Structures are given as structure tokens and as C-alpha cells.
Structure 1
Amino acid sequence: MLLFFILGLLVHFVFFGSIFDIYFTSPLVHGMTPQLTPLPPPAKRLVLFVADGLRADTLYELDENGNTRAPFIRNIIMHEGSWGISHTRVPTESRPGHVALIAGFYEDVSAVAKGWKENPVGFDSLINESRYTWSWGSPDILTMFAKGASGDHVYAYSYDADNEDFGAQDVTKLDTWVFDNMKEFFHAARNNQSLFSKLNEEKIVFFLHLLGIDTNGHAHRPTSREYKDNIKVVDEGMKEIVSMLEDFYGNDGKTAFIFTSDHGMTDWGFHGAGHPSETLTPFVTWGAGIKYPQRVSAQKFDDADIAPLMASLIGVPFPLNSVGILPVDYLNNTDLFKAESMFTNAVQILEQFKVKMTQKKEAILPFFFTPFKLLSESKQLNILRKARSYIKQRKYDEAKPSHLLSCSFIAVGVLVAFFLLIQDCPWTYYIYCLLPVPIWYAVLREFQVIQDFVISLLTFPPSQLAGYLFIFTLGIEVLVLSFFYRYMLTAGLIAFACWPFITQLWIRAKSISLSWIFFSLLLAVFPLMPVVGRKPDIFLVIGAGSLVLLLSLCVLTSLIKRKDRFINEELLLHLFQMLSIALSMYVVYSTHHSLLKKQGLPFLNQIISWIILASSFVLPLLSPTSLFERLFSILLSWMSAYLLLSTGYEALFPLVLSCLMFVWIQMEQETLQQSGVSYRQKVTSLQFTCNLDITQFRHLYLDDIRRAFFLVFFLVTAFFGTGNIASVNSFDLASVYCFLTVFSPYMMGALMMWKILIPFVLVMCAFEAVQLTTQLSSKSHVFILQHFFFLVKDYGSWLEIGTSISHYVIVMSMTIVLMLLNGLAHLLTTKKLELYGKSKSHLI
């Protein structure tokens, strides 16, 4: 029985402890990138007055004689600043209230089990982000922010905690102590050159915590004379402080003032719950960057919104854990500053979401993770890109979401459906007529981007613009003809070789231009090679593998010299991938000879082939995410699989194509710099990352058409370059003999399709790097799809009709497959698997 009792007690203790793991864990995340409004701030310094326990109604109402209890604050409201009602979240206590005001986030529920006086979790705050902060008041509040700050730039002056006596005769001394000590501090600063210099710097904060009103409220109730008279003491003290600061700084107009409270109080002298008397607090602000009084009703917002407002006023990064929304209506600044501040606020909150999502994704099994659909990565980028575009176009009102466009297209869809209904049309007509509605809706949602692009086109001389359009149209026709005549790809690649001479790149980057010309002409040879009736040539496969090994040795030597960036794990990975290439060469050679001797596929070769194929998916994800190393790792892994599927000259094709892709990336960066856009990193130092730098978003340029065309052309070249699918007769079952020799149409077909897709993926991975360099989006080959739509034939022989249909299907499939390959390329370039434990970083 005793054992049973102890076991039961233990179980109940476990149940009790479990609630703290399940319900009371901290929601705060760390590791976000600080976000700062890029424009000069209106204020150099900020003064924050917090009257602890002050109710909004008690401050704003008039006394029994019709007079205000706070004449200085009333004068500010009427003539100098803006005012409103701040809504304080529960629990309405001093610690979470001040954290919300200064750090911008609400109560951390984990504090239930960890502490009361101080917030037990390391958090960022306005005080931490400031250059210097001086604070006066209660040790319970000031210590919390002083400990939470990094560096040595926060100075706290507090009285003895014994002074916080509810039974004291006069507790207004808690407030007069703050005012007197601050005045003495500034008086001493006039004779202290070091302190004087600090006080005249930018991004500084003065924080005055005034506890007298709260203490009087607890002791005598908010309806008491003591509570109301304490408001007069605070009002008079603030008036003296403001006068002193204006005198000290010579009325330079660079000081912003904020007066508010952390919570209110019930009529019976308590707080902590959610009664309006506890949650509604006053908010008054004036000075640099603040609007003058307007004839509007009092505004209501959350206390956490004050933190981004203060950060915006003095130009410091928004507190990293802040969830506050900038109350932009209080700002007296340009529309550009307001828009940039709101944009920074949005990105700062989004940073928390992205870090939290990453943590969740890493902590659970992939198939259990469900991303938040309303804020997917594509939607994040789309929203931020549009907002940034509107800001650049000075269309600040448009940066707010509007439902007018969507409602208009819904109305159009209803009208179309009604028109078809009254004509008794077949159901297929509904699909044909209604499908353009959402498509054009998607197009017009990008109207701003299209408009910006058209405006940029109009800046070109008419003759030059006409020449560009002619070349682009000619290029589209070349692509269309390449479906019928493969040698047109050769013509296109020869034209590509002339690109450096047309754009003056030959003068700017001669060595890169020579490489571009050489590999373009070398790749142009492949479409001229025979498609049908070729014989296996294993020595060409072995030669391709040897060239890859030789290139790998050169790269390995180069990486070893950069010892600061090359570690043992990377060395082992590189050697293992070289071993995979060598094994692929051996398997191809030994399998070919075994089949010639009628001995069948060696079982060991079959096992090695499947292992190499499977590892080609994983090994690139273990490599560093630096651009060159990740792309080269992808080439080695996928080249080893391609060699196993090759029988002749096509084994050289991915190698030459990849070399041209590497040169293309460097050429694009040179082109970007030639056009006047300076990029701060070299190609070798670029990093693939899941998080795009939204500050690099830009409008479309004419060069972007050329980049998109290059992508489509290289994809078509990857498709038809070796004639793998140019005709039915070009399928060679010998390509899969390293994997299986027993007839299996589905398995063989899958392997052949994978062989076809490998060059596609290499092109898409290279284009990921081009996007990283130029911040370009790929949406170009819809023109080719439309062209083939009009080339579909309903006359002639079955071969002609079937060929026209198959070409249309191929291009349409390319559109679909391209989206899938884009996702695969993004995965291969940006994701990284960790075999060992990660080091954890924490933010103070």
C-alpha cells in the first residue's frame, strides 16, 4: 500500500508538472534580424513618463469645480500634442505592463512558474536598442530592463525599496524623488564633459517611472483625495522636467515626449484583472515627430503599440520580440517616412513568424508539419514586394490591402456565367469563358510591376527599343523552330556567343567572356549530333567521368587553399562525391563488358548503381550553402547518376551545360554592375538562403526579358540537346542496363525520365543563383505556349496532326514541370542537412 501510494503521488506530480511544459512555455523566439527604418528619425532623444497605476478617466475628467487636475498635460492635449486611450492587456500588473510598453510584447506565460518581479526570459527592448538610456524610479522595474540590456549603456537610479510603504504619510515622495534626482543629474552634467557628450548624442532615452499614484491608489483608493492630488504632483513635476530639458538642449526641437501608464486600478484599489478601469490608461505624446492637436476623437490602441512608436521616433531598431503595430496616425512626418516605418514594423513581426516556423519545422517530423497557408513563403514575398514597389512609386495609400479588385472580378465572373446561362450553353463553355477571369485577375494584381516595367521601357530611344523587341521576337521564333529543327538550337547558341561583343562585356570582363564564347560554341555542337541509330561508345562515358574527376581535383585544390572556409566534413563530402564518380565509371565499364560476354548485370554493380542514384538526392544537401560549393556539389552528385544512364556522347552534355551555367552566373553579375547596379558580394562569396533580402526588391528592367529568355532557351536546349526525346526511336534501353536488364516498362520509363530531367535541374539550380544575384522572378515562357496553341493542326496526315499536338503538350508540360523543378532547385540550393548537433544562439 505504501508503494502504491508513493507511485500514485509520483504520477500526480508528473501530471502537475506537465501543465507547465504544455501550457506555460515561453512564446518568445530568438535569432531574428533587427529591422530599422532607413530614413533619418525626427527625434534625437525620447523622454518616457510612466505614471504607474493611473486610470484614463481620472486623468482626463474635470474635478467637481470643472477644473483639470493636470493643467500642464491638458495644455499639451489642447495645443502641442496628440492624445488617446491605451488598452492594457491582462494581467494588469506593473511587470508585464512595462514590458509591453518598452519591449512591445505581452505577458510571457512562463513567468507563472519562474518569477514575479522580473521577466525571467531574456528579451529585447527599446532600452536595449538605444545608444544610452538613463532611468529613475522603482528598483523592481528599472532593474528588469537594466539586466535585459546588452553592453554597458543603460544607467538606472532607484530609491530604496523600503520607501514603497503603503502606510507612509506621504507617498508622493516616490515621484518627487524621481524629478529631483533627474534635475540634479542634468545640473551635474554641465560640469562633466564626458556625460555632457553622451547626453548630446542621438538615439538616447530618458525613462521616469512614477510609482506614487499606484501606491496611493492601493492605500487610499483611486477615488480618494490622495490619489487625485498625486496626479497634480506628477503634472507639476513633468512641467519642470520638460522646461529643464528644453533649456539644456537649447529648444532644438529634437526631443519627443510620451506620457502613459502601465495599468489602471479598480475603485477598491486593486489591479490585475480585465475590468475597463484596469485596462484603459491615458496616452499623451508631443514634441519631435508628433502631430499637433486635431479635431478627432480619442484614439484607442494597445500598450504594446507604443514600443514601435518610440523606436520610430528616435530611429532605433524595433524591439525584436515586439508584436506592437505602429500607430502611424500620431506621426507628424512625410508619407514616405510613415510608409517605411510601417514596412519595417511588418518585416520585424514577420521575422518572428519565420523564426518560429523554422523552430517548429526542425522540432517535429516533416510529415507532421503543416505550414500556415495564409502566410506561405510565396505570399510573404508577394506582399512585401508589392508594398516595397508602392513605396518606391510614392503610392503610399496603395500599400494598404484593398478588396476592390477581387470584388470587381467576382462581379465579372457572375455576369459571364449569367450570359452563358441564358444562352443554354454547354458546360465546357463555362470553363472556357470563366477561366480567363481568375487568370486576368492574377495579371492585374501585378499591374504595378507591369506598369513600372513599361515606364522603364519608355525611357529607351525608340530605335533601340524596336531593336530589342525585334531580337526578342526573333528569339521566340528560333525556339519554336527548334522543336522542328534541332540545329536551330545551334544557331541560337552561336548567337549567344556574340553576346559579350554586343554589350561591351568583352572589354569589361575579357576572361569570363572568353569562357562564355568557348562553352557556348562547345554546347552548340550537341544539337548537330545524330539522334537515331547511334551506337554505344562507353569510352566517351569514361572520358566524361575523367573530365569531371579532373575538374574536381582542381576545385578541391582551390578549396583546400581557403583553409578558413574549408573544414573536415566538407573535405570528406567532396572526396565521397569524387568516389561516386569513379564508381559510376567502373560500373558502366564493367557492366558493358559483362553484357558483351552474355554474363548479365552483376548484382554488385546493380546495388552500387541504386545507391549512387539515391545518394545523389541527399549529398548536395550536406554541402555548404555558399553558391559555388553548393552548385558544384549538385553537379558531382547528379553527374554520377547521369553517367550510369549514359551510353555515348550524351555523357559530356551535362558537364558542358554546367560549365556554361557557371559562366552565365558570373556574366549576369558583370552585366548588373555594368548597368550601374553595384552588388556588394562576389559570386564566390554569395550564399543561398531561404530568406530573401526584401530590401533588394526592384522593378523589372529590359535586361530581365533577356534573362528570362536565356532560361527558357537553356531549358529547351537541355530537353533537345542530345535528342533523348526528339523521336520515339531515340529511346535506348541500354541506358538503364546498369540498374536493371529485365524488362520493366514503368521502372525503365522512370529512369529514362530522370535522365531527361537531370539537365533541367542543373539549369534551374543555376537560375536560382541568377535570381540571387539579380533578384529576378521567372515567368516568361507563356509566350511560347501561346505560339504552339496556334500551330495545332486539324488537317494533314496523322503524323502531322500528332506532331503538332505533341509539341503543344510538350510545351504545356514544360510549364507545369518548370514549377516543380523550380521548387526542387530551391530545395537543392537552399536547404542543408546537419549530421551533427547545431550550436544554439541566444539573444540577450
Structure 2
Amino acid sequence: MMLFFVVGLLVHIVFFASIFDIYFTSPLVHGMTPQFTPLPPPARRLVLIIADGLRADTLHEFDEDGNPRAPFIRNVVMQEGSWGVSHTRVPTESRPGHVAVIAGFYEDVSAVAKGWKENPVEFDSLFNESRYTWSWGSPDILSMFAKGATGNHVFTYSYDADSEDFGAEDISKLDTWVFDHVKEFFHAAKNNQSLYSQLNEEKVVFFLHLLGLDTNGHAHRPASREYKDNIKMVDEGVKELVSLFKEFYGNDEKTAFIFTSDHGMTDWGSHGAGHPSETFTPFVAWGAGIKSPQRVAAQRFNDTLLKEWKLEHYKRQDINQADVAPLMASLIGVPFPLNSVGVLPVGYLNSTGAFRAESMFTNAVQILEQFKVKMSQKKEVTLPFLFTPFKLLSDSKQFDILRKARSHIKQREFDEAVLLCKELIDLALKGLSYYHTYDRFFLGTNVLLGFVGWASYASLLTIKSHSGLTRGAGNPVKKPGCLLPCGFVAVGILMAFFLLVQACPWTYYVYCLLPVPIWYAVAREYQVIQDFVTALLTLPPSRLVGHLLACTLGIEVLVLSFFYRHMLTVGLLVFAGWPFITPLWTRAKSISLSWIFFCLLLAVFPLMPVVGREPDVFLVMCAGLLLLLLSLFVGASLVKRKDGFVNEKSWLHLSQMLSTALAMYVVHSTYNSLLQKRGLPLANQVASWAILASSFVLPLLSPRGLPERLFSILVSWMSTYLLLSTGYEALFPLVLSCLMFVWIHMEQESLQQAGVAYKPKVSSLQFCGSADVAQCRQLCPDDIRRAFFLVFFLVTAFFGTGNIASINSFDLASVYCFLTVFNPFIMGGLMLWKILIPFVLVMCALEAVQLTTQLSSKSLFLMVLVISDIMALHFFFLVKDYGSWLDIGTSISHYVIVMSMTTVLMFLNALAQQLTTRKLRLCGKPKSHLI
């Protein structure tokens, strides 16, 4: 069995990793020839200003007094330049957003996992193609485009990473630092002849990364006064910057300005998903080569926001985020970034028709170069008779469009040339997507075969080892002959040879060869399959159909709950009616009433708004008080008991109550300190980390008695959860744990009524140190329900207080008791731990259910894995590579979550066993006083 779990872990890791090879592969190709427009560019220099985390609606809206929130930017829109909305893609994070703007392509989703610090440049960018680039801002962003750039021509000026403090008194200082240092830089250039000469060269880029808005949005939310005042400060800083450039360059009108953002932000101060508040970012361009404002009577955008912004008569030109890179390259005459997939927005260019047509032609050839390289790479590693080219863009089609476009340019039919180039770009982008996903069906089919095979084998092993359906000693199982293994070996050799000929990556061998041994293991159990089918056929048809229907509906409810959280409420309401269809209502009425009450109470949480929208420290304090009251009640019962452990239990119980009270104080104190902009007190920070560390130790000091140990785990981990809570979710683990404790009693009552040997009361049970209960009994049909209950509670633990399938449901405010200085890995780890705490509480309840029902934890765990794998198989079919980016990202994240659940479940099961069975011995205590 241990071997099975190790192999199962490896198999699930492979299934989990497969999604990255199928959907998250990098789109980059190399070996293209740089392309640039042969005509003189309209600008000598470009100023790129990215206001990190700025929403389009907040920038253009009016303040409470009816005045523009950003008067200078608004004046640019109405008097000097062109504007629109830049549409970003999922994930709406800083790294992929900046890559899209500066390099012109959408980085694969897995790049977010690489972090933001000190990443080498693995792609071409506008900065790399420029003659010189000077940049100011966050070290996390600037280093991405400086390291790895060819030559010594990208210069960075950044503040210390510790300045990114969400609890700082004035977060907008991150932006004032940038503006001040730009001013100092140009002032120093007047007295530095070498620098002055470089600044007056052509093809120069200045990049200003303004992080204050993003940090203020996380700390105070976009609707806050701090965020909106930061916008006004940025607007004033941009105004001064424009005046500085005009003064330094003597009004030569050769400077182009681009103002945009990498992503927006939700109302609750987060980003990462596809909500319009995250994907709609401002885009304003003015200066050399940019069209002046265009007055229109009506616009194609049926958007009430235009009227709210009072910009309905100024032409709005929306673009995709990657389109910014070719626009900037065209303005200063540098080669388009080699990996750019952006389409030049010619509507922004104020230049001759010849320049617009030539620039679009260059754009088309540059993207076509990527298509050719991609096709060549795929053709080289595919057998000729298996290679299927992209038929919509054959060599003759390419040549024909390019010839016609060049002919139109020579005949000065520039608009026709632009249209032809756009057609070629559209076909080339479709071709790039075609070859990028060329192996997707092949890999998906092999992973699907492995998935179905593993779920089948796990089911057969459960039936064989833990049920009475298999043949006994009187009917020995026939062993398969040598033909079966030889056949599977032959299939594996043929598959390996096929992959070898096509020079496939080593991961392809894993995905394609893994199903072979899995299905061989299934085929070896053909006798078990026969016995199981025979047993099913003996059941009455109505009962068999009823069981299948119940299982199907149950799993579908679980799958639907990933899309609609209120389905969890429906499931809990059904659970509340469970005692009425069993003898439990008559034999254990008090326990049944408790079960109904806590099911109904827990059913409220999925109906609540997603956590993070509105902070409410009062509810966190209420959760702490309820936990203290519960602790007092339990403590009083412990004192009354004369079992020889009063001193130890009282000491430990008091320590945990003090830990809870301290956590409440830290939450309240930290909230007030940050509200008054005094930052995170050091004492609070130390106390928070100490409480987190103690949560792993204090439960291990408690007695192994089932009630005492479970309550000790709840109190210790709830103290940590309070520190990570911002609102009503602080109540969730408390209600969930109460329901879990009632569930333990319900299962014991249910088992006794089924005729299984009598078990002592729950209060007298103890967690033993053994790994299992020595397989006390065989599986019964009711155990399938127990496994389903467990999976349902695990899903409820995931989605009970929010949709964690979406990154934007996370709230950075939940970690402010631990740290406020930006650190994506520590913050991400703490938020992940917040999610796992209810998960572990459920897993500890599983250990108790296994103990009270005399059921082998291995058999129960096997059934849970089978149910989880069936759910994962659902989501594997539901993964999308079409439609909106929100739909694509959500479908992928659902699959990743379910696969993570089945994988992490194995680790959390081991952790739960340690928490429930391990006992630490204090120095100086005689063994007679310890359990």
C-alpha cells in the first residue's frame, strides 16, 4: 500500500505537470531577422510612463467637486493627443503586463511563478532595440529588461525594495522618488557633456515605472482617498515632466509620450484575473508622430462610461496591450521587437500615408517571420507523412499578399496596403497559435488515457483489498499469461520509437508511456472486474440505477460548485435532511439537531460576498470572542474531570487562550496602526510569527484523547487564522470545525445502527500512534457516502469564503499582521496557508471518523482519491483554449486546483496524522503524567 501511495503521488504530479506542457508553454521562438521601417521616423525620443495598477475609469472620472481627477491628462486627450483603452490579458499581473507593453507579446501564464526579481531577459524588447534607454522605478520591474539586454545601453535607477511598504505613511513617495530623480538626472546632464550627447541621440527611450498607485490600491483600495490623491500627484508629475523635456530639448517637437498601465485593480484592491476593472487600462499618447484629438458625433462604443467621463465626442481608439510595442517602435524608428505579436494601431499615427503603410508592412513581415520559424521548427521534428501544415497561409498565399501589398504601396494606394497587411497579420497570428498548440490533442489524449487508467486501477484496488466482492480461497484467481505483458511491452517500445524519431522532449515520453504500465495493471485485474460486474448485476435494477444517479448528481454538484459557489449551499441543505431519511432522527435526536443547525449555519457562507471586498475587523473580534467563550466552556469541563491530567491540561488550555487573546489584540492594534499610517508595529509582527510557529507545537503537547486533541488543534490554528482574516471569514473555520465534530458523532451513531460492533463513546477514544486501524472491517456502501462527505467538505473549505480559482479574490490586507513590505513569495505563502487551515481541520476530522467508524484510513482515502480524480477528469474536458481570456484562465485554474487537491491531499493527510497522533513530552515531566 505504501508503494501504491508513492506511485500515486508521482502519477498525480505527472498529470498536474502535463497542464504546463499542454497549455502553459512559452510562445517564444528565436532566429528571426529584425524588421524596421525604412522611412525616417517622426520622433527622436520616446517617454513611456506606466502607472502600475491604474484603472481607466478612475483616471478619467471626476472628483467629488466635479473637477477632473487628472486635469493634465484630460487636457492632453482633449487638446493634444489620442486616447483609448488598452485591453490586457490574464493574468493581470505586473510582469506579464510590462512584457506585453515593452516586448509586444503575452508571456505564458507560468511566467508569473518565476517571480519578479532579477529575471534575465529571455526575449527581445523595445529597450533592447533602442540606442539608449534610461529607466526609473521599482527594482523588480526594471531588472527584467536590463539584465540580458545586448550591449551596455539600458540604464536603471531604482529605489530600495524595502520602500514598497503597504503600511507606510505616504506610499505615493514611490512616485515622487521617480519624478524627483528624473529631474536630478536632466539637471546633471547639463553639466556632463558625454551624457548630454547621448541624450540628444536618436532612438532614445525614457521609461518611468510608477508603483505608488498599485501599492496604494493594495493597501487602501482604489476607492480610497489615498489612491485618488495619488492619481492627482501622478498627473501633476507628468505635467512637470513634459515641461522638463520641452525645456531640455528646446521645443524641438521630437518627443513622443505614452501614458498607460500594466493592469487595473478590483474594488477590493487586488488583480490577476479577468474582471474589466483589471483588464481595462488607460492609454494616452501625444507628441511627435501622434494624431491630435478627433471630434466625433457618435462612437461605436455603447458605453455609459464615456458620458460619465464627458469624452463621448473625442474619438476613442481601443487597442490590445501588445499593440503598444509596435507603436513605440514605429515612432522612433527602431526594429519591432522580434517576438512581438502586437498589431500597429495606425489610427494613432500622425504621419504620411506612405509611412503608415510601410510601418504596417514591416509589422506584417515581422510577425510572418515568427510564423515561418515556428512552422519550420515543428516540421523538422514531425514525420513528413504526419505533418499537417496550416492551410490558410501557404507559401503561395504569403507571397501573393506581400506582392499585392508592395504593389499598392508603389501605386500610393496606402489604405489598401494597410488592409492587406492586417489580413496577413491575422492569418500569421492564427498560424502561430496553430503551431503553438500543434501537439495539444496528442498530449491531451495520452494524459486522458493515463487519467482514466489510474482512476480505474484505484477503484479496482479498493474493491480488491477492502471489500468482500472478490473471490475467496475456494475460487483462486487465474494469473494472466505471458501474452498480456508482452503485448504491453511491444506497445511501449513502439511508442518510444515514435517519440524518438520525432525528437520529442523528454516530458513527452513520460506522458505517452505512463498509460502503458497503468493499463497493464488494470488488465491484470480482469478477474476483479468480472467479480465486480457480477456483483452489480445481482442488485435490483432500481437500486443500481438509484446508486448511480446519486453518485452522478453528487459529483456534478461538486463540479458546479467551482463555477457557482451557491451550489455548496444547496449541498449543505441536502446534508441537513440526512437524519430524516435514516434512523438517526429517532435514536440520536440531539446530535441530529446539532447536525442540522451547523449545516444550515455553514450554508450561509457560500452566499456571502467573496472575501476581500469589505474589511470588517469587528467580525474578526467576534470570531475571537466566540473562540474564547468556547475555550472557557471546554476548560471548565476539563477542570471538573478528575483524571490525573488537570495540571497539564489546564496549563496548555490557558496558553492557547492567551494565544487567542493575543491574536485578537494584534489584529485590532495592527488595523488601527495602519489606519493612522504608523506602519506595522514590530511587537505585533513578532507576536504574529510567534503565534504561527506555536500553532504547530501546542497541539502536540495536548493529550491524545480525541476531543482534547481536536479542540487543541482548532484553538491553535484559529489563532493564526484570526491574524490572516479581514472580515467574516474568521467565523468560517469555527463553524466548519463544529460541524466536523458533530459529523464524527453522527458517523459513529450511523455505524452502530448498521450492526457493526459497538464502539466506545467519542469522548473516551484516543488517537493512536499507528498509521491505520488494522483494517477493522470491510467496506460497505455507506462508506462511499462518507468519502463523498469528506470531498464535499474539502471543496467547501476551498470555496466557502471565496473563489480561490480567481487570483483577484486574494486580499493582501490579510497578511498585514505579518509583513507590509512587498514580498510576493512570503505573502503568497501566508495566503496559501490561510486557505489550507480549513483544509487541514477537515483532514483531522477524517482521522477521527476513521477511528470512530473502525474504517481503514487507506480504504477511505482511496475512495476520496477516486472521487477527486473523476472531478479532475471533468475539468480536463472543460479546459478551454478559446473564448474570453477569463473563461480560458478559469477553466485552467479549475483543473489545476483539483489536481493540486489530489496531490496535496496526500501531504495534508500525513500532516493530519502527525497533528492527531504525535505527542511531545515536556522536559521534567514524569511519564506517568503524560498520555
When the two structures are superposed, what TM-score results if normalisation uses the length of structure 1?
0.50
Name the CA distance, whole Å, in 1 between partners of 2:851 and 2:535. 22
Equivalent of 1:395 in 473, 476, 494? 473
1:750 is aligned, of 819, 829, 834, to: 829
Does residue 416 (structure 1) correspond to residue 499 (structure 2)? The answer is no
Q: 1:785 aligns with which of 872, 881, 898?
A: 872
What are structure 2's unaligned runs of at least 5 residues? Answer: 1-459
Following superposition, the deviation at residue 678 of structure 1 comes to: 2.3
Residues 442/649 of structure 1: CA separation in 2 closer, same or farther (3 Å cut) = farther
> Distance in 2 between the 1:792 and 1:764 partners?
28
Letter of the 1:415 counterpart: A
> Residues 574, 383 of structure 1: CA spacing in aligned structure 2 closer, same or farther, 3 A cutoff?
farther
Compute the displacement of 1:636 (Å).
0.5
Tell me the SS of whatever aligns to 1:688. Answer: coil
1:571 aligns with 2:654: no
Task: Tell me what 1:604 maps to.
Answer: 683
* 1:560 matched residue in structure 2: 639
CA distance change for structure 1 residues 607 and 499 in 2, over 3 Å: closer, same or farther?
Answer: same
C-alpha distance after superposition, 1:550-606 (max 9, x if no partner): 111111122222211533112211110111111111111111111112221111111
The alpha-carbon deviation at position 638 of structure 1 amounts to 0.2
Alignment check: 8 A CA contact 1:453 1:700 kept = no
Distance 1:446-1:538 versus aligned 2 partners, 3 A rule: farther
Q: Structure 1: how far apart are the matches of 2:607 and 2:815?
A: 24
Are 2:878 and 2:891, in contact at CA under 8 Å, matched by a contact in 1?
Answer: yes
1:479-628 equivalent positions in 2, closer than 5 A: 479-531=558-610, 534-564=613-643, 566-628=645-707
SS in 2 for 1:578: helix
The AA in structure 2 aligned to 1:781 is S
Post-superposition shift, 1:412?
4.4
Give the match for residue 904 of structure 2. Answer: 817
Structure having the higher Rg:
1
> Cα–Cα, structure 1 residues 449 and 627, in superposed 2: closer, same or farther, change >3 Å?
farther
RMSD over aligned CA atoms reads 3.2
Contact 1:531 1:726 in 2 (8 A): no
Kindly provide the CA deviation profile for residues 226-277 of structure 1, in whole angstroms up to 9, marking residues without a partner as x. xxxxxxxxxxxxxxxxxxxxxxxxxxxxxxxxxxxxxxxxxxxxxxxxxxxx
| Structure 1 residues 625 and 441: alpha-carbon distance in aligned structure 2, compared to 1, 3 A threshold | farther
User: Contact between 1:409 and 1:437, CA under 8 Å: does it hold in 2?
Assistant: no
Q: Matched residues in 1 for 2:481 and 2:677: separation?
A: 67
Contact 1:479 1:716 in 2 (8 A): yes
Letter in 2 for 1:653: F
Q: 2:510 pairs with 409, 413, 431, which one?
A: 431
Q: Is the 8 A contact 1:457 1:702 kept in 2?
A: no
Residue 728 (structure 1) shift: 2.6
1:171-190 to 2 correspondences below 5 Å: none
Partner of 1:832: 919
Distance in 2 between residues matched to 1:416 and 1:648, nearest whole Å: 57
The Cα of 1:468 is off from its aligned counterpart by 2.1
- Mapped to 1, the partners of 2:575 and 2:674 lie a distance apart of 42
Contact 1:785 1:812 in 2 (8 A): yes
Pair 393,648 (structure 1): closer, same or farther in 2 beyond 3 Å: same
Give, in whole Å, the separation in 2 of the partners of 1:837 and 1:673.
Answer: 42
Which of residues 883, 890, 903 in structure 2 aligns to 1:803? 890
Q: What is the one-letter code of the residue matched to 1:812?
A: M
Determine whether 1:794 maps to 2:881. Answer: yes
Q: CA deviation at 1:694?
A: 5.7
| Cα pair 1:519 1:656 within 8 Å, conserved | yes
Contact 2:463–2:469 at 8 Å: present in 1 too?
Answer: no
* Displacement of 1:413: 3.9
Q: Note the C-alpha offset of 1:476.
A: 0.7
Q: Is the 8 A contact 1:631 1:765 kept in 2?
A: yes
Distance 2:481 2:869 in 1: 24
Deviation at 1:418, TM superposition (A): 2.7
Deviations 1:498-521 (A, max 9, x none): 111122311121111111111111
SS at match of 1:790: helix
Mapped contact 1:409–1:438 kept (Cα < 8 A): no
The answer as to whether partners of 2:469 and 2:532 remain within 8 angstroms in 1 is no
The TM-score normalised by the length of structure 2 is 0.46
**How has the CA–CA distance of structure 1 residues 629 and 532 changed in structure 2, closer, same or farther, with 3 Å as cutoff?**
closer
Q: C-alpha separation between the residues in 1 aligned to 2:711 and 2:527? A: 38
User: Aligned in 2, Cα 1:601/1:814: closer, same or farther, shift over 3 Å?
Assistant: same
Cα distance 1:619–1:793, how it changes in 2: closer, same or farther (>3 A)?
Answer: same
Question: Which residue in the other structure is 2:297 paired with?
Answer: none
Give the SS at the match of 2:643: helix
AA partner of residue 804 (structure 2): I
Secondary structure, counterpart of 2:653 in structure 1: helix
Distance 2:783 2:773 in 1: 18
Q: What percentage of aligned pairs have identical amino acids? A: 70
2:666–2:684 contact (8 Å) kept in structure 1: yes
Provide the residue aligned with 1:51 in structure 2: none
Once the 2 structures are TM-superposed, how far is the Cα of residue 493 of structure 1 from its aligned partner? Answer: 0.8
Paired residue type of 1:796:
G
CA distance in 1, matches of 2:529, 2:586: 33
Q: How does 1:264-663 map to 2 (within 5 A)?
A: 394-395=472-473, 411-420=486-495, 424=501, 427=504, 430-440=509-519, 460-531=539-610, 534-564=613-643, 566-663=645-742
Within the alignment, does 1:739 sit opposite 2:814 as a pair? Answer: no
- Read off the aligned partner of 1:431 and give its amino acid letter: V
CA-CA distance at 1:768 after TM superposition:
1.0
Q: Structure 1, residues 429-473: CA drift from partner, whole Å, max 9, x if none? A: 643442123334565788888788767666653322321221111
Displacement of 1:797 in angstroms is 2.1
The aligned residue for residue 722 of structure 1 is 801
The whole-number CA distance in structure 1 between the counterparts of 2:600 and 2:643 is 37
Shift of 1:534: 2.2
Kept after mapping to 1: 8 A contact 2:805/2:890: no
Are residues 733 and 426 of structure 1, via their aligned partners in 2, closer, same or farther at CA, if it must alter by over 3 Å?
Answer: same
Which string of whole-angstrom CA distances, capped at 9 and with x for unpartnered residues, describes residues 519-544 of structure 1?
A: 11111111111116622111111100
**Matching of residues 114-133 of structure 1 within 5 Å:** none
Could you tell me which residue of structure 1 aligns to residue 396 of structure 2? none
- Provide Cα deviations, 1:611-658, integer angstroms capped at 9, x if missing partner: 100000111111111111111110010000000111110000000000
Deviation at 1:394, TM superposition (A): 3.6
- Within 2, Cα distance between the matches of 1:654 and 1:407? 55
Change (3 A) 1:642 1:443: farther
- Provide Cα deviations, 1:255-304, integer angstroms capped at 9, x if missing partner: xxxxxxxxxxxxxxxxxxxxxxxxxxxxxxxxxxxxxxxxxxxxxxxxxx
Distance 1:457 1:582, change over 3 A: farther
Change in 2 beyond 3 A, CA 1:515/1:761: same
Kept in 1: contact 2:652–2:698 (CA 8 A): yes
Task: Indicate the residue corresponding to 1:347 in structure 2.
Answer: none
Residue 690 (structure 1) shift: 2.6
Q: Which consecutive residues of structure 1, in runs of 5 or more, have no partner in the other structure?
A: 1-381
The one-letter code matched in structure 2 to 1:411 is C
> Which shows bigger deviation, 595-604 or 628-637?
595-604
Aligned pairs for 1:214-225 (under 5 A) are none
